[in-house]
Amino acid sequence: MTISSLNTTMKVGMFGMSKIMPTPYFVMYENKLMQNLNKLKELEEKTNVHILHTVKSFNQSSVLPTISEKLSGISITSPKELGMAQTANAKHIHLYAPAFKYDVLESMSKDISTLSLNSLNQWETFKTLIVSKGLRINPKLSLEIPEHCNPNVTDSRLGIDAVEFLDNYHNNSNQFNQLEGLHFHALFQDKGEGFTLLIQYIEKNYSAVLPKLKWINLGGGHDFTSPNYDVDTFVKLLNDFESSYPNIKIYFEPGETVTQSCGDFVTTVLDIVTVNKKQIAILDTSIETHLLDVAIVQQKLKVQNTNQEPTPYLYELSGNSCLQGDIIGTYFFTKDLQVGEQIIFEDMMPYTMVKMTKFNGMEKAKFYLV
Ligand SMILES: Cc1ncc(COP(=O)(O)O)c(C=O)c1O
């Protein structure tokens, strides 16, 4: 299914839309999504790798079939996401979670293509399951990544300690007879430098394991669709790796980069109050309901008509819930704000809609594709 065959009731021209659609809503721009998907497809073709969309980053059911058709598959973590991947006709479904319940994984295993287990305990429990199995390893690369999303931290539960895995492998390789893959998710918004470290690290440390593998999953965190991504180095490193290990299929499972820069979040100013000379604009949204990333990691958002440099129009944007901490942030606008005007947050597709709640009785924001 292509975007042009999507339900037309949700395809509304942006000009008409801003006048008639009640806020708050998320809006995705079809042309920008296609630009990203075309870039990703081109990378696949240049390198012969397989790019899977990580569905936890973006899961709108009206758009998933398009992403799925263009890319090589979908990466999932739960039965619910399996349903989404199946409905979207994913060609390859990769499953990973930090831990599985036996009955849940057993029933999912017949519907997935590859599986990554996260610990040696889970390997012992599931190694006889009939599915192509791999292990997630924590390579503990030294990279500048914010702590809360850095899977390389020394005491991370995500992935097996690399030294522990290699010791076990070298001491008793028979216990890994059914091992077909390795999985490394170690990067974050990487423009190519981290990838270089990762692939060099794998070639250096896993020479005894690589010849026995059928696949490697090099995780997410690759900023493939950024104009600054170092495509040439990426292509060269992969071509070299593939000529050394022609039997290994290479998967990536990016999330953010797939829908990055593809859409905005539109809200309205409900009131403006002045408290201790501070101007506070109350919006028809809330960080607890529509912008959880702001609450969790104090993310600074890109707000239209604001400047980095100080202006006379300083406003605290806040939410409409009864939580005192429901504050979106303080921004310098280019002009005075008015009650009733729209405040547009840019680049809000990945990891935002997927976390919406109905806290304080607020409705979830709608989603439109234009
Ligand atoms: C195991 C795994 N793979 C892939 C991803 C997608 O990462 P990103 O959205 O940074 O590309 C994540 C994100 O948390 C992840 O945990």
Average pLDDT over residues 328-332: 96
Ligand 1 pocket test: pick from 43, 185, 187, 261 the residue with the most ligand atoms within 8 Å of its Cβ: 185
> What confidence tier does 14 reach under pLDDT thresholds 50, 70, 90?
low
Report how far ligand 1's centroid is from the alpha carbon of 253 (Å).
7
Q: Is pLDDT at 210 greater than 60 in this prediction? A: yes
| Burial grade of 10 (CB within 10 A; 0-12, 13-18, 19 or more) | middle
Ligand 1 touching residue 53 (CB < 6 A): no
Ligand 1 touching residue 96 (CB < 6 A): yes
pLDDT value at residue 6: 33
Report how far ligand 1's centroid is from the alpha carbon of 354 (Å).
14
pLDDT value at residue 29: 98
Q: Is pLDDT at 295 greater than 50 in this prediction? A: yes
Q: Is pLDDT at 231 greater than 70 in this prediction? A: yes
Give the number of the atom of ligand 1 that is nearest the alpha carbon of residue 222: 11
293 annotated as a binding-site residue? yes
103 annotated as a binding-site residue? no
Report how far ligand 1's centroid is from the alpha carbon of 254 (Å).
6
CB 370 within 8 A of CB 27: yes
Neighbouring residues of 71: CB distance < 8 A, sequence distance ≥ 6? 37, 40, 41, 44, 51, 52, 53, 258
Q: What angle do CA 216, 219, 223 make, to 5 degrees?
A: 130
pLDDT value at residue 74: 98
Any idea which of 241-245, 294-298, 308-312, 324-328 has the lowest mean pLDDT? 294-298
Give the number of the atom of ligand 1 that is nearest the alpha carbon of residue 77: 1
CB 1 within 8 A of CB 66: yes
Chain-centroid distance of CA 89 in Å reads 19
Eight-state DSSP code of residue 162 = H
Q: 145-190 pLDDT, tens per residue?
A: 988 889 999 999 999 999 999 999 999 999 999 999 999 999 999 9
CATH class of the 30-259 domain in this structure: alpha beta
Neighbouring residues of 36: CB distance < 8 A, sequence distance ≥ 6? 225, 257, 258, 259, 260, 261, 262
Ligand 1 touching residue 221 (CB < 6 A): yes
User: What is the Cα–Cα distance from 66 to 3, expressed in whole angstroms?
Assistant: 6
Closest C-alpha to ligand 1, atom 1 = 185
Percent share of the chain, pLDDT over 90: 89
Q: Is pLDDT at 34 greater than 90 in this prediction? A: yes
Ligand 1 touching residue 194 (CB < 6 A): no
Q: 36-73 pLDDT, tens per residue?
A: 999 999 999 999 999 999 999 999 999 999 999 999 99
Mean pLDDT of all residues belonging to the chain = 93
pLDDT value at residue 76: 98
Per-domain residue ranges of the chain:
3-27+263-369, 30-259
Amino acid making up residue 292: L
The domain defined by 3-27+263-369 folds into Lyase, Ornithine Decarboxylase; Chain A, domain 1 (2.40.37)
Other CB atoms closer than 10 Å to residue 45's CB: what's the count? Answer: 9
Ligand 1 touching residue 57 (CB < 6 A): yes
Report how far ligand 1's centroid is from the alpha carbon of 57 (Å).
8
pLDDT value at residue 18: 55
Q: 95-137 pLDDT, tens per residue?
A: 999 999 999 999 999 999 999 999 999 999 999 999 999 999 9
